[in-house]
């Protein structure tokens, strides 16, 4: 077995991993003890990467639709890229370069981005290249630029160890940046005086572990930060000499804040004025105050000002660039930072240069050896899809992102994709929602198969290595971009294309990127693959001659603006773009679950990652459910002005009354609807163009879906179990939208089961059930079966080797919970056999349902933890007896929360 170093391809913490493999298959992963992001730790998602690196549903060869109404068929790479070049060239010749668009991803490697960016801006001559970072980091980018002069997060993870007051706003790192949160937990344990404040409308596991949780009303962060600054000024805690020497705009902001007292803000934010005062004092008194933020601030129609208002709290104290201090934006995707470095947004240029600046444009043109780069800003993500819908963009190239799931207002996105003349999708897996719209589908290499670099949240660059031979005809993303560029340049008559795209290796691309940073704030001219391999991952800047990268920025009070000063910005105190009213009285927010990643194309393949949450749901306060006459677990209709979906209602004490939460992960691959983004809206921040994915007004209604069914299937033998479950899961996808509600998932661990839940207003046609039985191998005489046609009930159970391995319940699903446990736990069926098809809600013999699994590594359920807590166990005892929270630690915040069961105050 060989070992190869890479990084985890999920979140922006950027943990180092060691891939254990045999050259063809990934066998195991473990944390890289030498990597400075994680020192060997991995969370639930990172530690299960080997379960997701599987062949099922992988794209292996290019396929092309020869005409609109024909299915795609397999083609060679030459034919695929020629067809693409032909179509793009003809659109460019007929309608100009702005009639094509490229929509990329913060999950590409820096080298991939670099080549795409040069292709679009340098060769085609349009700035219509944007990424999903527009949905993610672009407000933080704009906020850093407006205040500090450049898009450079000034802090580092080691600041967690030095801060006295950590203010986490609009982020849930316990779920979304788990290894960073492990470091925060360790810092708090080492320094018990350290304060942690969390600003989040929901009582997340992050919030539940804070010293102070400000459960503000959605969209009111600016009011809170302004009131905190008001207090700092009123109590004389601001650093006037430092402000005078290193900033501008403070006096105007002070004037602006005069009326924003904690009492005023308290009314708007819906939290007590005393709590705002406490937060301000803790922050003001701290020798080293540090803020962290993520999507709760960025995904807002005033996301930029959310950021600038938070950054102002650090600037007012002059607490930036020193250990434990500063405004630290968390990067979502693994290489969103790399994308920002190469200028991978439609308004940016390479190495933090600005499109609007003629000198910068000339520099980039000279570097690339092209006459000019276009001046006109390109379209941002949402604008691009609007232009596609309007027919202004005629050919669209999508790489490494799944907009038919992740963009707001899905109805609009579907319309755009359906009517676009030519859609290219460059993907690793073939079963994404977006892949269905591809006229040309190109198979990309992915994690464990490709080489390049990534930059994490703390500006640290890691060299990522390929471990295994890439499957089928897959190619690296930058190679696809290069080979397309060569063909397109030829057709557009650019004589120099071969020289511009003369990249023999990923390293040659990196070298050119390095050169583009010379003299810039992110100068990395001291770095190469060799340096990274020899000395390990490095933070930027790392100029030629440097021995190490810079841990923190702006220690000297010199900022990246033209006059070297930081700026205070007067924020617009807006609220949410859409307010609630009689028709849509509830406030929806959306976000992440602990164990799933975005559209689940990868995490959705590891059965154990469903054990924490196995079905999409809408979380509502118990009081709101009661008022609407809805039971916990009932299916309900959820509607906004954009669309309507059916979801399972979940009673959730962590949410305020009047509010709701839907996780962003479930889409049409696993659910009968597009989930959260059917409901969201595309209100944009004026500076960052980031859409307000976090807030929408909704209503809920009861629905009558009396015809319910449950199908489950697992395998007897381990070797085939995983592959079979994944194949069956993929086969169910086309079925999901036949029903009013349907949801597919996996369950179990070494022997995954596939699970399909169905609910319909009208009886499910018997011939459909037969087809589903056939899909699940549940036909034939070896099944136990029961039918009562008059009452619409039919049931089937398959018992193999004394284990329940197949189940279909139709019309009467009361026993679903314990039968699911029976299958997943692989318990012997001997004593239960005669009860399996009986209408029993609880198991006839001893044993409670295990319920959801809290500790994924050690397989410990919520019920087991609750029982132990009721018996007097504290956290240490739980760890000792049940072993929960003793491996990756991702469940520690939740186990602690279960230990101190809480009740959130009701706010009507």
Ligand X SMILES: Nc1nc2c(c(=O)[nH]1)N[C@H]1C(S)=C(S)[C@@H](COP(=O)(O)OP(=O)(O)OC[C@H]3O[C@@H](n4cnc5c(=O)[nH]c(N)nc54)[C@H](O)[C@@H]3O)O[C@H]1N2
Helix intervals (H) in 517-667? 529-535, 622-627
Give the footprint of ligand X on residues 275-314 (CB under 6 A).
Answer: 294-296, 299
Distances (CA, A) of 228 to 260, 488, 510, 543: 9, 55, 44, 38
Residue 38 engages ligand SF4 in binding (rule: CB under 6 A): yes
Residue 854 engages Mo ion in binding (rule: CB under 5 A): no
State residue 587 phi and psi, 5-degree precision: -100, 120
Give the footprint of ligand X on residues 591-610 (CB under 6 A).
Answer: 591-592, 594, 596-599, 601
Residue 42's binding partner, choosing from ligand SF4, ligand X, Mo ion, none, with beta-carbon cut-off 5 to 8 A by kind? ligand SF4
Per the rule left: phi > 0, alpha: psi between -120 and 50, beta: everything else, 57 is left
Identify the residue among 17, 64, 91, 135 touching ligand X (CB under 6 A). 135
SS3 70: coil
SS3 769: helix
Residue 42 engages ligand SF4 in binding (rule: CB under 6 A): yes
Exposure pattern of 458-485 as b/e (b: 16+ CB <10 Å)?
A: bbbbbbbbbbbebbeebbbbbbbbbbbb
By CB under 6 A, which span of 129-137, 184-192, 714-722, 730-738 interacts with ligand X? Answer: 129-137
Q: From CA 403, how far away is CA 435, in angstroms rounded?
A: 10
Give the footprint of ligand X on residues 675-734 (CB under 6 A).
Answer: 676-677, 680, 693-694
Q: From CA 733, how far away is CA 752, in angstroms rounded?
A: 17
Q: How far is the CB of 609 from ligand SF4 (least distance, A)?
A: 11
Residue 8 engages ligand SF4 in binding (rule: CB under 6 A): yes
Residue 38's binding partner, choosing from ligand X, ligand SF4, Mo ion, none, with beta-carbon cut-off 5 to 8 A by kind? ligand SF4
Q: How far is the CB of 655 from ligand SF4 (least distance, A)?
A: 25
Q: Which two tokens stand for residue 100?
A: 């094509």
Give the footprint of ligand X on residues 665-684 (CB under 6 A).
Answer: 676-677, 680
Residue 247 engages ligand X in binding (rule: CB under 6 A): no
**Which of 155/764 has CB closer to ligand X?**
155
Helix axes 273-285, 303-317, angle to 10 degrees: 50
Q: How far is the CB of 134 from Mo ion (least distance, A)?
A: 10
Mode of pairing for the β-strands spanning 803-810 and 853-855: unpaired
Residue 649 engages ligand SF4 in binding (rule: CB under 6 A): no
Question: Residue 705: which of 662, 674, 739, 660 has the closest Cα?
Answer: 739
Query: Is the alpha carbon torsion for 726, 731, 734, 738 positive or negative?
Result: negative
Residue number of the CB atom closest to Mo ion: 332
Q: How far is the CB of 690 from ligand SF4 (least distance, A)?
A: 22
Distances (CA, A) of 122 to 352, 495, 506: 16, 13, 19
Residues 6+ apart with CB under 8 A from 94: none
Identify the residue among 92, 428, 438, 506 touching ligand X (CB under 6 A). 428
Residue 233 engages ligand SF4 in binding (rule: CB under 6 A): no
Residue 14 engages ligand SF4 in binding (rule: CB under 6 A): yes
* Residue 784 bridge partners (DSSP): 797
Residue 17 engages ligand X in binding (rule: CB under 6 A): no
Residue 45 engages ligand SF4 in binding (rule: CB under 6 A): yes
Residue 588 engages ligand X in binding (rule: CB under 6 A): no
Identify the residue among 5, 6, 10, 676 touching ligand SF4 (CB under 6 A). 10
Residue 296's binding partner, choosing from ligand SF4, Mo ion, ligand X, none, with beta-carbon cut-off 5 to 8 A by kind? ligand X
Q: From CA 906, how far away is CA 209, in angstroms rounded?
A: 19
Query: What is the edge-to-edge ordering of all strands in the sheet holding 783-788?
Result: 741-747, 753-760, 707-713, 803-810, 793-800, 783-788
* x/- map, 70-109, ligand X, by CB under 6 A: -----------------------------------xxx--
By CB under 6 A, which span of 177-185, 237-245, 370-378, 792-800 interacts with ligand SF4? Answer: 177-185
Residue 106 engages ligand SF4 in binding (rule: CB under 6 A): no
Q: How far is the CB of 31 from ligand SF4 (least distance, A)?
A: 7
Mode of pairing for the β-strands spanning 129-131 and 100-104: parallel
Residue 651's binding partner, choosing from ligand X, Mo ion, ligand SF4, none, with beta-carbon cut-off 5 to 8 A by kind? none
Q: From CA 770, how far away is CA 791, in angstroms rounded?
A: 18
Residue 885's binding partner, choosing from ligand X, Mo ion, ligand SF4, none, with beta-carbon cut-off 5 to 8 A by kind? none
Residue 291's binding partner, choosing from ligand X, Mo ion, ligand SF4, none, with beta-carbon cut-off 5 to 8 A by kind? none
Residue 176 engages ligand X in binding (rule: CB under 6 A): yes
Question: Residue 643: which of 718, 599, 696, 597 has the closest Cα?
Answer: 696
By CB under 6 A, which span of 174-182, 704-712, 764-772, 794-802 interacts with ligand X? Answer: 174-182
Residue 589 engages ligand X in binding (rule: CB under 6 A): yes
Q: Which two tokens stand for residue 116?
A: 């795409």
* Residue 806 bridge partners (DSSP): 713, 798
Residue 205 engages ligand X in binding (rule: CB under 6 A): no
Residue 661 engages ligand SF4 in binding (rule: CB under 6 A): no
Q: From CA 906, how far away is CA 908, in angstroms rounded?
A: 6
Exposure pattern of 183-214 as b/e (b: 16+ CB <10 Å)?
A: bbbebbeeeeebbbbbbbbbbbbbbbbbebbb
Whether 459 contacts 341, CB under 8 Å: no
The DSSP 8-state label assigned to residue 330 in this structure reads P
Q: How far is the CB of 137 from Mo ion (least distance, A)?
A: 7
Identify the residue among 32, 98, 185, 221 touching ligand X (CB under 6 A). 221
The gap between the terminal CA atoms of the chain, to the nearest Å, is: 59
Q: How far is the CB of 10 from ligand SF4 (least distance, A)?
A: 3
Residue 175 engages ligand X in binding (rule: CB under 6 A): yes
Q: From CA 395, how far away is CA 388, in angstroms rounded?
A: 8
Residues 6+ apart with CB under 8 A from 750: 718, 721
**Which of 291/335 has CB closer to ligand SF4?**
335
Q: How far is the CB of 415 from ligand X (least distance, A)?
A: 18
Give the footprint of ligand X on residues 627-666 (CB under 6 A).
Answer: 664
By CB under 6 A, which span of 173-181, 363-371, 481-489, 817-825 interacts with ligand SF4? Answer: 173-181
Distances (CA, A) of 655 to 102, 271, 596, 764: 38, 14, 20, 35
Question: Residue 219: which of 236, 201, 233, 241 has the closest Cα?
Answer: 201
**Which of 169/697 has CB closer to Mo ion?**
169
The DSSP 8-state label assigned to residue 663 in this structure reads E
Q: From CA 762, how far away is CA 704, in angstroms rounded?
A: 10
- Helix (H) or strand (E) segment spanning residue 697: strand 696-702
**Which of 772/853 has CB closer to ligand X?**
853
Residue 13 engages ligand SF4 in binding (rule: CB under 6 A): yes
Residue 153 engages Mo ion in binding (rule: CB under 5 A): no
Residue 136 engages Mo ion in binding (rule: CB under 5 A): yes
Identify the residue among 201, 332, 752, 893 touching Mo ion (CB under 5 A). 332
Residue 303 engages Mo ion in binding (rule: CB under 5 A): no
Give how far the C-alpha of residue 261 lies from the chain's centroid of Cα atoms, to the nearest Å: 36
Residue 889's binding partner, choosing from ligand SF4, Mo ion, ligand X, none, with beta-carbon cut-off 5 to 8 A by kind? none
Identify the residue among 14, 101, 149, 201 touching ligand X (CB under 6 A). 201
Query: Is the alpha carbon torsion for 349, 353, 355, 361 positive or negative?
Result: negative
Q: From CA 455, how far away is CA 341, in angstroms rounded?
A: 9
Contact positions vs ligand X (CB under 6 A): 11, 105-107, 132, 135-136, 169-173, 175-177, 199-202, 204, 218-219, 221, 294-296, 299, 332-333, 399-402, 405-406, 426-429, 432, 444, 446, 477, 589-592, 594, 596-599, 601, 664, 676-677, 680, 693-694
Contact positions vs ligand SF4 (CB under 6 A): 8, 10-11, 13-15, 38, 42-43, 45-46, 177-179
Contact positions vs Mo ion (CB under 5 A): 136, 332
């Amino acid at each position: 077995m060989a070992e190869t170093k890479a990084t985890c391809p999920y979140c922006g913490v950027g943990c180092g991993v060691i891939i254990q493999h045999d050259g063809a298959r990934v066998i195991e992963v473990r944390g890289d003890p030498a990597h400075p992001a994680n020192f060997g730790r991995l969370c639930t998602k990172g530690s299960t990467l080997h379960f997701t690196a599987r062949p099922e549903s992988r794209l292996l060869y290019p396929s092309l639709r020869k005409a609109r109404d024909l299915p795609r068929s397999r083609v060679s790479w030459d034919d695929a890229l020629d067809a693409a070049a032909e179509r793009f060239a003809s659109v460019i010749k007929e309608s100009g370069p702005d009639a094509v668009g490229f929509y990329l991803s913060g999950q590409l490697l820096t080298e991939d981005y670099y080549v795409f960016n040069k292709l679009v801006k340098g060769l085609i001559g349009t700035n219509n290249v944007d990424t999903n970072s527009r949905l993610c980091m672009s407000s933080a980018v704009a906020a850093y630029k407006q205040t500090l002069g450049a898009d450079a997060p000034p802090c580092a993870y080691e600041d967690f160890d030095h801060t006295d007051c950590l203010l986490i706003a609009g982020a849930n790192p316990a779920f979304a940046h788990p290894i960073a949160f492990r470091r925060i937990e360790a810092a708090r344990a080492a320094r018990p005086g350290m304060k942690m404040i969390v600003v989040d409308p929901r009582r997340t596991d992050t919030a539940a572990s804070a010293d102070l949780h400000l459960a503000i009303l959605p969209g009111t962060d600016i009011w809170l930060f302004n009131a905190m600054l008001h207090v700092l000024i009123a109590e004389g805690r601001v650093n006037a000499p430092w402000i005078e020497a290193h900033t501008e705009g403070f006096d105007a902001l002070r004037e602006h804040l005069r009326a924003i007292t904690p009492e005023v803000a308290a009314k708007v934010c819906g939290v007590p004025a005393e709590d705002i005062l406490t937060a301000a004092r803790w922050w003001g008194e701290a020798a080293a105050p540090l803020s962290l933020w993520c999507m709760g601030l960025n995904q807002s129609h005033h996301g930029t000002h959310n950021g600038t208002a938070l950054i102002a709290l650090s600037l007012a104290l002059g607490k930036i660039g020193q250990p434990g201090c500063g405004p630290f934006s968390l990067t979502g995707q693994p290489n969103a930072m790399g994308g920002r470095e190469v200028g991978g947004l439609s308004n940016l240029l390479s190495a933090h240069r600005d499109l609007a600046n003629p000198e910068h444009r000339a520099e980039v043109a000279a570097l690339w050896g092209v006459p000019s780069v276009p001046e006109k800003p390109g379209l941002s993500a949402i604008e691009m899809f609007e232009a596609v819908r309007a027919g202004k963009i005629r050919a669209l190239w999508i790489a490494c992102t799944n907009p038919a799931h992740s963009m707001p207002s899905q109805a609009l996105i579907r319309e755009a994709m359906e009517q676009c003349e030519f859609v290219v999708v460059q993907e690793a897996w073939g079963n994404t929602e977006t892949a269905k719209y591809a006229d040309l589908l190109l198979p990309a290499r992915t994690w464990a198969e490709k080489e390049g670099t990534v930059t994490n949240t703390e500006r640290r660059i890691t060299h990522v290595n390929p471990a295994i031979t890439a499957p089928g005809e897959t190619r690296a993303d930058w190679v696809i971009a290069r080979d397309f560029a060569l063909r397109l340049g030829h057709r557009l008559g650019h004589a120099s294309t071969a020289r511009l795209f003369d990249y023999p290796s990923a390293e040659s691309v990196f070298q050119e990127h390095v050169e583009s940073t010379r003299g810039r704030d992110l100068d990395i001219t001291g770095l190469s693959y060799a340096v990274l391999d020899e000395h390990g991952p490095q933070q930027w800047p790392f100029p030629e001659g440097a021995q190490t990268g810079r841990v923190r920025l702006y220690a000297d009070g010199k900022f990246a603006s033209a006059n070297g000063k930081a700026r205070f910005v007067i924020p617009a105190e807006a609220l949410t773009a859409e307010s609630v009213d009689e028709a849509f009285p509830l406030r929806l927010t959306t976000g992440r679950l602990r164990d799933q990643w975005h559209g689940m194309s990868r995490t959705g393949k590891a059965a154990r990652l469903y054990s924490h949450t196995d079905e999409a749901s809408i979380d509502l306060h118990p009081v709101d459910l009661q008022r609407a006459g809805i039971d916990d677990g009932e299916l309900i209709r959820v509607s906004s002005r954009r669309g309507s979906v059916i979801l399972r209602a979940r009673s959730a004490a962590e949410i305020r009354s009047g509010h709701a939460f839907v996780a962003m992960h479930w889409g049409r691959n696993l659910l009968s609807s597009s989930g959260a983004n059917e409901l969201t809206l595309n209100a944009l921040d004026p500076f960052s163009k980031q859409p307000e994915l976090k807030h929408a007004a909704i209503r809920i209604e009861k629905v009558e879906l009396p015809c319910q069914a449950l199908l489950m299937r697992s395998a007897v033998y381990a070797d085939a179990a995983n592959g079979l479950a994944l194949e069956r899961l993929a086969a169910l996808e086309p079925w999901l939208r036949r029903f009013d509600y349907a949801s597919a998932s996996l369950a179990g661990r070494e022997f995954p089961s596939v699970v399909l839940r169905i609910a319909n207003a009208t009886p499910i046609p018997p011939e459909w059930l037969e087809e589903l039985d056939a899909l699940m191998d549940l036909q034939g005489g070896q099944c136990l079966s029961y039918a009562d046609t008059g009452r619409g009930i039919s049931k089937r159970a398959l018992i193999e080797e004394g284990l329940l391995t197949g189940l279909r319940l139709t019309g009467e699903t009361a026993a679903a919970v314990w039968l699911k446990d029976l299958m997943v736990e692989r318990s012997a069926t001997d004593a239960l056999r005669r009860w399996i098809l009986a209408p029993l809600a609880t198991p006839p013999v001893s044993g409670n349902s295990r319920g959801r699994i809290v500790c994924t590594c050690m397989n410990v359920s919520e019920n087991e933890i609750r029982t132990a807590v009721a018996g007097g166990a504290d956290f240490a005892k739980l760890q000792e007896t049940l072993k929960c929270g003793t491996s990756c630690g991702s469940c520690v915040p939740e186990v602690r929360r279960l230990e101190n069961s809480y009740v959130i105050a009701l706010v009507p």
